Amino acid sequence: MYLETILVLSQRQRYVRSIDVAEYMGYSKPSVSRAVSLLKQGEYITVDREGFLTLTESGREIAEKIYERHTVLTKLLKKLGVDAETAEQDACRVEHDISDETFAALKRHLQEHGEF
């Protein structure tokens, strides 16, 4: 979720800091700091001297994959009649666990029915 959040925030604003991530996600600064440290160690993000977060190529690939899943699943759930808030929350839960095969089938279904 952190990578997805950094991606979303970077599309909205020029610079993303840990505090921006904490505020957006509603998490504590220490929790975000720990996650940022792990993401940095995993080479998914870089942090410059001013504390600005940037996704690496591998971090961006993962973030974009998760974000696509989130948006497609949210759209599908809303098409099924789920209210917007619940659809967002449920999509967030499902996006990390759904198989690539199942996601591709859902996406294909939406495309075949002109809803994507």
The predicted pLDDT at position 112 comes to: 87
Could you check whether 2-55 and 62-112 share the same CATH topology?
A: no
pLDDT band at 113 (very low <50, low <70, confident <90, very high): confident
Question: Could you tell me which CATH number the domain at 2-55 has?
Answer: 1.10.10.10
What pTM does this model have?
A: 0.83
The CATH number given to 62-112 is: 1.10.60.10
pLDDT band at 116 (very low <50, low <70, confident <90, very high): low
Domain boundaries, the chain: 2-55, 62-112
Three-state SS at 115: coil
Phi, psi (degrees; rounded to nearest 5) at 27 = -105, 160
Pairing verdict, β 45-47 and 53-55: antiparallel
pLDDT digits (tens, 9 = 90+) for 42-62: 999 999 999 999 999 999 999
Check pLDDT > 70 for residue 93. yes
Please give the pLDDT value at position 54.
96
